[in-house]
Amino acid sequence: EPEVTQTPSHQVTQMGQEVILRCVPISNHLYFYWYRQILGQKVEFLVSFYNNEISEKSEIFDDQFSVERPDGSNFTLKIRSTKLEDSAMYFCASSEQAGSNTGELFFGEGSRLTVL
Amino acid sequence: GDSVTQMEGPVTLSEEAFLTINCTYTATGYPSLFWYVQYPGEGLQLLLKATKADDKGSNKGFEATYRKETTSFHLEKGSVQVSDSAVYFCALNTGGFKTIFGAGTRLFVKA
């Protein structure tokens, strides 16, 4: 069964360092997303990506964040200069369609980022 | 803005007990509503959904009914199993790219 894969599963970094989280979405999906969950809090939307550009982003997704689809399979989230409050579980997701009738987002297992 | 509130966990039940996890929402417009489940070591996966008022979503013995009058989408199961132990997330989408999730409710089922 096709699945979304994420690497690394856990990354520890020093404050101020750049981090790249990688995702391989399901191959025939067109829409890609990043969400994050700070421990014990809500799963928060960061950004959606379609047709090689950002389609929507949240207020969390500031200039420190960027996304890229560098080739036909990978979808990356870069945090330019990490802060302590960036420590969270980051989930990548993909879907065939977008909007309220699509129903299903397919999630990866998450990448846990710890900023020291 | 749009939001989802679900009951805090953890919820601990014995096998074969009845489960209810409460979820209420605030949204402009007419959202679609979802329950996602996350088993240990795995990503979130769709459990069930409802796209309009009074719809009932169901899957694997779980049910939830879209109640517009009470803005609720409570998850129920008549008889839980140990294998149902997981984190359950209520979510909504009002038609854009963004799906809004609650904080999740952890369920422990004891044998």
Report pLDDT digits (tens) over B43-93.
Answer: 899 999 999 999 999 999 999 999 999 999 999 999 999 999 999 999 999
CA distance A16 to A105: 32
Q: Is there a contact between B43 and A4 if contact means CB atoms under 8 Å apart?
A: yes
**Closest Cα to residue A73, out of A94, A98, A99?**
A94
The distance of A104 to chain B (nearest Cα, Å) reads 6
Q: Is there a contact between B103 and A31 if contact means CB atoms under 8 Å apart?
A: no
Chain centre distance of CA B12: 16
- Site from A26, A32, A42, A94 to mutate, B interface, most B CB atoms within 10 angstroms: A42
Flag whether residue B87 sits within 8 Å of chain A, measured between CB atoms: no
Question: What's the whole-number mean pLDDT along residues A16-25?
Answer: 97
**Structure tokens that stand for A16 in this block:** 């101020």
Residues of A in contact with B43 (CB under 8 A): 3-4, 91, 93, 106-110
Question: What's the whole-number mean pLDDT along residues A101-107?
Answer: 74
Flag whether residue A34 sits within 8 Å of chain B, measured between CB atoms: no
Mean of per-residue pLDDT scores for chain A: 91
**Closest Cα to residue A69, out of A58, A77, A61?**
A77
Q: Per-residue confidence at A92, pLDDT binned at 50, 70, 90?
A: very high
